[in-house]
Amino acid sequence: MGKDTSKIVEELGICSDFNTFYNENKDYMVSDTLSSLLEKLLAEKGLKKSQVIKNSELAEIYAYQIFSGVRVPERKKLLSLAVGMSLKLDEVQLLLKCAGYSQLYIKLPFDSIIIYGICKKLSVMEINNLLYDYELETLG
């Protein structure tokens, strides 16, 4: 991952020109597309799309369209894929950031249950049951 975000923001505030700032920090910027990041994570973890899709409980065609970049999933669907891939919290946060969504925030009840589920390696169904128990919208 690299440099802390607050450090990058601090550097931006004191830089004399954006070009210098960008050249010094471009390696820390998110540059992957969502589909390329998903492919990279699949390869790193030695996962098969078919198993991830089954674990994510998403419709098969829809999920394959996400992987190919044809569809941009809503945040909840992306979280289902992340759970289906058994991603670590920092990987989920990167995936959300890459897709342009807000990262998980522990003080939001929905997000705190998702974080709990990720840390405890719960399935989508188990996370949905917890969300339902707390009268929150489920992942799908």
Q: Give the CATH number for residue 50.
A: 1.10.260
Based on the fold, state whether residues 17 and 59 are members of the same structural domain: no
Based on the fold, state whether residues 17 and 61 are members of the same structural domain: no
At 24-60, the pLDDT tens digits run: 887 777 667 999 999 999 999 999 999 999 999 999 9
The rounded distance, in Å, linking the Cα atoms of 138 and 128 is 5
Based on the fold, state whether residues 119 and 67 are members of the same structural domain: yes
Alpha-carbon dihedral 103, 45, 28, 109, rounded to 10 degrees: 10
Residue 139 lies in a domain: no
Give 22's pLDDT tier (boundaries 50, 70, 90).
confident
At 81-116, the pLDDT tens digits run: 999 999 999 999 999 999 999 999 999 999 999 999
Residue 56 lies in a domain: yes
Predicted local confidence at residue 31, as pLDDT: 67
Average pLDDT of span 117-139: 98
